[in-house]
A = this chain, B = another copy of it.
């Protein structure tokens, strides 16, 4: 990705790292402005609510950027953990550094395009959460991310969908019957 090569030049602190399955790259409660481009592998971000329950916010596989823009924007401690789900190769860079840097118009446009894409994804997610049943959300998930079901444990998919593992299990059982 072109945009990323530019970033690497500008942000001297950026670097390529590899991390192992199970590693936590970011803990909730901290303040950070790091972002992770996924060259290979898979990340997830999730929060833990007042009752101790995990909620998967997003998965990021090859080609996506994982960044906790929410906390960075308001400069408040993160609500999100970032975890490595597969042995991965990442490029870490500092969004703060990026914001402060002087970039060309083209580079800014790239940045804006990336953010627009993110907004679009979130908008669809919100509308889906509001308007669809668990089964519909699961089908939509399968259609949107066809490769993830093979790479992600089922209970994390359930968490992403906003349902319990048991509920997802029954949904899947019912669906096999219908094929």
Contacts and interface: CB of A to CB of B under 8 A. Distances in A.
Which of A122, A124, A162 has the most chain B CB within a 10 Å cutoff? A122
Interface of A: 47, 49, 53, 55, 57, 69-70, 72-74, 79, 99, 102-103, 105, 108-109, 111-113, 115-120, 122-127, 129-132, 162
Contact of A162 (B57, B70, B108, B129): B129
Contacts of A132: 49
Nearest to A109: B99
Nearest to A161: B130
B55 A130 contact: yes
Nearest to A49: B131
B130 A129 contact: yes
